[in-house]
Structure 1
Amino acid sequence: MTRRILVPFDGSDAARGALEYAIELFPDGEFLALTVVDTSAVPFIPNTASPETNDELRVMVQEANEELTAAERIADDAGVDLESLTRVGSPAQEIVDCTESESVDHVVMGSRGRSGVTRILLGSVAEVVVRHSAAPVTVVR
């Protein structure tokens, strides 16, 4: 049975490592790279905005899509197919929602390794996903 593997991807070294690990862990998997445009910390973009109606958001989505080219290169180098998806919203919530809407069997995601006050102030996307995902989650450091 082919497993559908979600890899949240933001272009960081942690995300690249997670994608490489996912490909190694599930060599016969179907891979989905998800990038999320986080508008929660941007005060000038209303919650109801869409890329079609807001120029700032359109630019942010284009930049996010460009980050996915790195994921596509990693997949090409490994000889696996990769579907990519961009969403707008809270990263943790969008990842959790994607596990359900895209019938994901497993999530493999990177961790930036924040601790202490930084983690408390910024939160941990990986921690929220681990707690709320319907699919098993592997966090790669």
Structure 2
Amino acid sequence: MLKILIAVDGSERSLDAVRHALQLLQQGLRASVVLANVQEPASLYELVVSRDPDLIASASLQAGADLMASARALLDAAGIAYDTEIGIGDPGHTLVDLIETSGCDMVLVGARGQGAVSSALLGSVSQAVAHASPVPVTIVRHAAPQVEPEDLQEDDGATDTLEGFRGGA
């Protein structure tokens, strides 16, 4: 059976990847799912102030679990079983390591997660994963909200307001 790693960081963009996986599974794809989150390593300041590396590691794991909560809720609601993996390190490289150690056959990642500012300088996580991954990577774009026909008003009064400007004053 196919094994899909979905990179999640708590952002709406990463949830797009989860929704895409749900669509594939609902259309009949037989696959297992691994949700993966990567936490940045502790800074030197954090290590000096805390002086307890186990406490910092525990906080990182808890932060990763918290950031996966929305993705887990989507999969739980759909009745999809999954595993979770939380790594610590550079997100791109660590995700590639998780792909290999989890034995995944493909990866789904949102087009841009929370790292938009840093990705402008360093390159996005999705690009790094796509470049280094040993398996196919699907980068899921964020869909624009759909406007429902009932949301559109036939006459909202805007043309009446503009009529006053056409004739001049």
Question: What band does the TM-score fall into relative to the shorter chain?
Answer: 0.7 to 0.9
| TM-score (normalizing by structure 2) | 0.69
Q: Structure 1 residue 113: deviation in Å? A: 7.8
Percent sequence identity over aligned pairs: 28
- What is residue 33 of structure 1 aligned with on the other side? 35
Q: Deviation per CA, 1:30-87, whole angstroms, max 9, x where unpaired?
A: 00000111127x34256xxxxx834334223212112222221111112211111111
Q: Is 2:137 the counterpart of 1:137?
A: yes
**Greater relative contact order (Cα < 8 A, sep 6+):** 1
Q: Structure 1 residue 118: deviation in Å? A: 6.0
| TM-score (normalizing by structure 1) | 0.82
- What is residue 49 of structure 1 aligned with on the other side? none
8 Å contact from structure 1 (residues 23, 29) kept in 2? no
8 Å contact from structure 1 (residues 15, 109) kept in 2? yes
- What is residue 6 of structure 1 aligned with on the other side? 5
Partner AA of 1:92 in structure 2 = G
What is the rounded CA distance, in whole Å, between the counterparts of 2:113 and 2:53 in structure 1?
Answer: 36
User: Judging changes above 3 Å, is the alpha-carbon distance between structure 1 residues 11 and 120 closer, same or farther for their aligned structure 2 residues?
Assistant: closer
Gaps of 5+ in 1: 47-51
RMSD: 2.4
Q: Which has the larger radius of gyration?
A: 2
Gaps of 5+ in 2: 142-169
Q: Deviation per CA, 1:61-118, whole angstroms, max 9, x where unpaired?
A: 212112222221111112211111111111101111111111100000001289xx86
Q: Structure 1 residue 123: deviation in Å? A: 2.0
Q: Structure 1 residue 140: deviation in Å? A: 0.7
Moved over 4 A (4+): none
What is the rounded CA distance, in whole Å, between the counterparts of 1:78 and 1:33 in structure 2?
Answer: 15
- What is residue 105 of structure 1 aligned with on the other side? 105
Partner AA of 2:81 in structure 1 = D
- What is residue 68 of structure 2 aligned with on the other side? 68
User: Judging changes above 3 Å, is the alpha-carbon distance between structure 1 residues 93 and 113 closer, same or farther for their aligned structure 2 residues?
Assistant: closer
